[in-house]
Structure formats: structure tokens, C-alpha cells
Amino acid sequence: MKKTRVVLQRLDSYDRHPTKAAIEELLRPLGGISAFVRPGQRVLLKPNMLAGKGVEAAVTTHPEIVRAVIELAQSAGGIVSVGDSPGVGTPEQVAQRCGILAVIKETGATFAPFSESIRITPRSGTFHHFDIARDIVDAEVIINLPKLKTHQMMGMTGAVKNLFGAVVGLRKPHVHLQAGADKGFFALMLLELAEEIRPALTIVDGVLAMEGDGPGSGDPILLGVLLAGVEPMAVDVVAAELTGLAPETIWTLSEAKRSHRPWTSLEDIDLCGAPLAALRPRAFKPAKDTAVHFGVPKLLQRPLRRALSARPVVDLKKCRRCGICVASCPPHAMAIRNDRLHIDEERCILCFCCHELCPYGALHSQQGLILRLSQKFGRLRRR
């Protein structure tokens, strides 16, 4: 198998001109932007616009990264649009709040509303169809612009997971519901979706990244790094190596290994640019595990569920009873009764969408005893 290239570049702030220069430098070993965009092509940029939070929260791709890529794609003759389907709020509200809408207007790009879904039928794979945004289907070139963050359910969100935003609005809970509590199955869906979308290029914003309990309310951390590559999985492998996140805790990566997909290890990757060792942070907090990783007999899984997994718990002091989590809970396991949020543990599929989407950080995960012990000993084993 031919190696695929992933490039690393240091960038310590989002100042406009240094950001654009760093992205040009980042793309040089890949042939520059003209290797991906030809004059007259419809180019769609897909940043992470999970929720309408300010740039300091490190939830969304920084607008200066988006600006630099718009300008480069335009300079190659591309007709550029930018869009995503957020978890909370309308795409336009979120784009406005995170600063991306202003950049779209200033550069003369177009806002892609991600309002209409089209059903696509993959030629092979487990999933018979995906309902994705027409804006994605209509684009001739897709440039994936993820934010590097931890992810409570999947371990990490980067190149592969960012493409789940192609699934429009309320169809996302439906997909979660199909996968249920089976994270491997959900990860497989993400892999097959990424293989259908096939972005031409991925550029990861890892300048101000997120550690801890991401992707919506973890802790921002200055990593000062950009990554780029053609194969989303390879880019994620390098991001995992950079942050020190254990590969077996990143579900898309472990599912890709299990299903013998390519580019799942550093040996398959031609690393270029800044040396990886020089970019590694001294420490990077993973998200709390939400399920044990060793095989537990099926018979025992249900009775031991509480001990084996994490569950969402509401902080009643922070909860404003806004109802956002209730509306997006895939199995309708949440309700507000008597001015208080209730979670039906029997119905809950442990997808942590509620944790991801709560704008007030009022939901956190509480690990069961066996899970806590397994995580502790797993960490000790890795030392």
C-alpha cells in the first residue's frame, strides 16, 4: 500500500496574515491549493460549527482558518461556499455567533445553508443510504476543516467525525438511534459516511484545541498546530499521536483497524513539515471513558450496565430548563417535569448528544465503578 502524506505546521495564534502564510506552507508538500482546486470548480468548505459559541470556547473552527482557506481556494479560481449543520440552532445563527458568517461576507464566498437533504446510496458497505446535505452533493471539491477536540462518545473528533455534520439537523438523532449504544456501529457509520463524502483535502485547526470532556464543553488548550492531508483517517492517526490519546479509545480509529481499512497506523503515513515530537503538548486530558473496553459477556452487560458505563447526570444548579437536550435526545429519554430535568436511564442509549449540545455545561458524565477502575488500570498499563 502506498503511503499517504500528512503535513504538520506550527501556528501559535490566529493573527490573519501569519495564519494564511502557515496554511500556504502547510499545503506546499501536498502540491499547494492548486493541486485540489481548479478554475471554475464549486468548492465547499466544511468547518466544525457545532454550536454558536465564541472562538475562545474552542468549539468551532476558527474564522481566520476559514478565511485563509476561502482566499486560497478563490485564488485558485474556485467558487467557494461554506456550511455545516450544527447540533443546536440554525446554521446561520451558529455561523454568525462563531464569526464564520462575517468572514464569508467579507471574502465574497457564499453561505451554504445545509437545509435540504438528499438520499445517497453507497455502492457497498453496511449502510444502505445516507441522507446528507444537498450542498455537499452539489460540490465538486469538498475541503474538510475540523477542529481538534476530544469527544465524550467517540474519544476524539477530527477529520472523520467532522463529516457527520453533512447529515442535516434532526436526521442526526435518527442516526444515533439506529446505532443505539453500540459505539463500534456508530463509528462504522462515520467511516462509511466519510468514504462516501470523500473530501479532497482536510485541514485541521489544532491551534486552540479542546481537551477534557469535549466536544461542546471541554477545556480549550493552546496546541499551536495545523495538520493537513488527503486521507481523513491518516490525519486522525497523526492527531491522536500528537495529543497522546490512546488509539483504542478513539472509536473511528479502532473500528477502522478492526475492519482492515488503510492508513490506521503511523507506518502507513509519510509525515512532513514540522517534527511531530516538537509539537507534542506536555499533557493532554482525554475525555472520560463512557464504557469499558474489554469484552463483558452479553448476559452480564444489562445487569451491570450502571457499573460498566458512564451516564449523563444533570447539574441542577446550572440547568436552565431550556429544553435543548430534551429536543435532541434520540430515544426521547429526557423530559422536563415540575420545572426539573429528568433522564430515563432505561431508555438512554448513552450517546451523550445531551452533553454535547447543552449550551450551559449543565450535563456531565458519571462513570460506573467498573469503568472507573478499568480506566485507572488502563492508564497505569500505558505508562
Going by the DSSP 8-state scheme, the letter that residue 138 receives in this structure is H
Q: From 47-55, 130-138, 154-162, 348-356, give the range in contact with ligand SF4 by CB under 6 A.
A: 348-356
Nearer to ligand SF4, 15 or 315 (CB): 315
Q: Does 181 bind ligand SF4 (CB under 6 A)?
A: no
Does 276 engage in binding with ligand SF4 (CB under 6 A)? no
Q: Is 349 in the site for ligand SF4 (CB under 6 A)?
A: yes
Distance CA 309, CA 293 (A): 10
Q: CB nearer to ligand SF4: give 13 or 178.
A: 178
SS (H, E, C) 191-234: HHHHHHHCCCEEEEEEEEEEECCCCCCCEEEEEEEEEEECCHHH
User: What CA–CA distance (Å, rounded) separates 329 from 176?
Assistant: 9
Residue (86 or 229) nearer to ligand SF4, CB: 86
26 binds ligand SF4 (CB under 6 A): no
User: Under DSSP, is residue 59 helix (H, G, I), strand (E, B) or coil?
Assistant: coil
> Closest approach of Cβ 319 to ligand SF4, in Å?
3
- Min CB(161)–ligand SF4 separation in Å: 16
Residues 305-344 that bind ligand SF4 (CB under 6 A): 312, 314, 319-325, 329-331, 333-334, 341, 343
Among 44, 239, 354, 371, binds ligand SF4 (CB under 6 A): 354
Nearest CB to ligand SF4, comparing residues 163 and 343:
343
Q: Buried b / exposed e across 264-291, counting CB within 10 Å, b at 16+? A: beeebbebbbbebeebebeebbbbbbbb
Q: Which of 116, 203, 212, 211 is nearest to 162 (CA)?
A: 203
Cell numbers at residue 224, please?
Answer: 499551536
- Residue 348 lies near ligand SF4 (rule: CB under 6 A): yes
174 binds ligand SF4 (CB under 6 A): no
Instruction: Give how far Cα 103 sits from Cα of 66, 106, 114, 223, Å.
Output: 8, 5, 18, 24
Q: Which of 163, 204, 240, 350 binds ligand SF4 (CB under 6 A)?
A: 350
Contacts with ligand SF4, residue ranges (CB under 6 A): 312, 314, 319-325, 329-331, 333-334, 341, 343, 348-354, 358, 360, 362-363
